[in-house]
Amino acid sequence: MKKLYLTSPDRECSIPDFINIADMPVCISTNEYINQNLDSLSGDIPLIVSADIQTGGKGRDGRKWVPVGAGGMYISYLLNVNNNENLGLLSLAAGTAVAEAVTGISGLRVQLKWPNDIELSGLKAGGVLIENKLFSNSMLSVIGIGLNVNVDRQQFCKSISNTATSLSINSGKKISIDELMLRISEYLLYFIGIMENGLYENILKKYLFYLKHKQGDEISFHHSGEIVNGEFKKINDMGALVLKLKDGEEKAFFSGEIHTIV
Ligand code: BTN
């Protein structure tokens, strides 16, 4: 198995300075590949499975990750997150890792839509799907990241053509997927180390820098098949979205999808 060597300067945790990498030309879903081969792959942790093309990707909340063909980044990490009590924050850490890497490499202004949609100028360029599983007494996390890197507008099918963008569209240049993968891996493992040390507020602070929602924003939120309207209050220290509802109650949501901001 190939190894990707990471160079995070202030690494002070048990996280190794390399990650195993399995790359394949085509895959149905890199998350599903890991899910179905957990027995054999668990010995290779920390691991990234990457594909040049993904044909049946999964999105959050049972949605599909619509394939865009070549130029997309499709990766899934298999990591041991046993020492992390706060798995809600892992989702924010993963989005922040992508935001930091994209900003550093492309100079683009990245925003995160809660929990971890990667947006450029209000359009979606990427997303994160995390699946946690208990495997022989360890908590393993499959962290799938899809990012439209060198993707032209014509590659988007009709269902996403008005809502999607790519790094190359917004920056006007081609960007190295290998370099992005390296930087995202460095940030992600670094953040996981920070969480392992219990320094949750450091992650939250970085996350809030990229978050597009500001206190007082009116938010329309889809949760368990219902639409909830409310005012954005904060992201709490468990990574949940806290809204002030019409009746004045403040409620924390751990999952759901923000659809429109009115
Ligand atoms: C979302 O925004 O709904 C999350 C999308 C996550 C897509 C990525 S692509 C790589 C990995 N494999 C999958 O099947 N899904 C994730």
Angle at which helices 177-196 and 87-106 cross, to 10°:
140
- Name which residue sits closest to atom 3 of ligand 1, judged by CA: 59
- For residue 248, report the distance from its CA to the centre of ligand 1, in Å: 35
Angle at which helices 87-106 and 200-210 cross, to 10°:
50
Q: State pLDDT tens for residues 153-186.
A: 999 999 999 999 999 999 999 999 999 999 999 9
Q: How far apart are CA 220 and CA 230, in angstroms?
A: 7
Closest ligand 1 atom number to CA of residue 127: 2
pLDDT at 200: 86
Asked whether the predicted pLDDT for residue 16 surpasses 80, the reply is: no
- For residue 172, report the distance from its CA to the centre of ligand 1, in Å: 24
pLDDT at 260: 60
Residues 215, 242 contacting (CB under 8 angstroms)? no
* 36 Rama sector, left if φ>0, alpha if ψ -120 to 50, beta otherwise: alpha
- For residue 48, report the distance from its CA to the centre of ligand 1, in Å: 14
pLDDT at 17: 85
Q: How far apart are CA 34 and CA 54, in angstroms?
A: 14
Residue 62 phi/psi, 5-degree rounding, is 75, 5
